Amino acid sequence: MKSAAERFAGHRQALAAKVHAAGVKHGKTLEAIATVPRHAFMDAGLHAQAYEDSALPIGHQQTISKPSVVARMIEILHKPKHQLGKVLEIGTGCGYQAAVLSLLAQEVYSIERIRPLHDMAREKLRPFRIKNLRLIYGDGILGLPQAAPFDAIILAAAGLGIPDALLDQLAIGGRLVAPVAKNEKEQQLVMVERMSSHRYQRTVLDEVFFVPLQSGVV
């Protein structure tokens, strides 16, 4: 009898192919999508939908992001001919994106403000024994100054702007990618590169839709 990992292996490869077809070209990111078992981060009732390229509910009015969007954002973080060093993720959710990032970066720090989600992510990630991943329960808008600066910062929620604390914690030469709300209905994916201690370059990319970025912990 096949194990769950074996049963879903073909599904993971098919998902990577869908993500590639959606426009993601970065080879190592596609490999990571083909490696991490997405079904392991959601309820059993959603396993049949786990390898569709769609966002799905994980409780607490939050979602596991669409895989092609996860991959696109991670692709943007990569500078040509540079490996990702230290990465900060704002919004752990169920832990799926953190698991993907752990295959691509030297260190990953992931912050979640909703206690039950933080606990769920910890439980779902435990079997993988990922040594380069740290989960933090806290307010992501404040970042993680004690571990800064970060070579890359990724936000899994959309605010009206990018919090100053996160811009301050981005290393010179580093990249931040975040959905930013234009209004109640429209959001854009934005990349910010820190050019010097006081200069940032901002590039607007795709239209996206994410849950709202909120402050405080619950």
Q: Model confidence over 83-92: pLDDT tens digits?
A: 899 999 999 9
Question: First-to-last CA distance in the chain?
Answer: 42
Strand 150-155 relative to strand 84-90, pairing:
parallel
Written as six digits, the tokens of 52 are 């569709």
Read off the pLDDT of each residue in 126-154 and give the average, rounded to a whole number. Answer: 98
In the chain, % of residues over pLDDT 70: 97
Per-residue pLDDT of 76-123, as tens digits, reads 999 887 889 999 999 999 999 999 999 999 999 999 999 999 999 999
> Longest Cα pair distance anywhere in the chain, in angstroms?
59
- Given a cut of 70, is residue 55 above it in pLDDT? yes
pLDDT of residue 3: 57
- Given a cut of 80, is residue 7 above it in pLDDT? no
Helix (H) or strand (E) holding 125: helix 115-125
pLDDT of residue 80: 84
Give the number of C-alpha atoms closer than 13 A to the C-alpha of residue 139, restricted to the C-beta side. 8
Residue 2's pLDDT band (boundaries 50, 70, 90)?
Answer: low
Give the number of C-alpha atoms closer than 13 A to the C-alpha of residue 74, restricted to the C-beta side. 34
- Annotation marks residue 215 as catalytic: no
Q: In this structure, which amino acid lies at residue 18?
A: K
- Given a cut of 70, is residue 212 above it in pLDDT? yes
Looking at domain 55-208, its CATH class is: alpha beta
Alpha-helical (H) ranges within 22-114 are 27-35, 67-77, 96-102
Q: In this structure, which amino acid lies at residue 152?
A: A
Instruction: Determine whether 15 is exposed, middle or buried from the number of CB atoms within 10 Å of its CB (0-12, 13-18, 19+).
Output: buried
Q: Choosing from 65, 68, 102, 110, which is the catalytic residue?
A: 65
pLDDT of residue 83: 86
CB 75 within 8 A of CB 25: yes
CB 106 within 8 A of CB 209: no
CA 70 – CA 77 distance, rounded (Å): 11
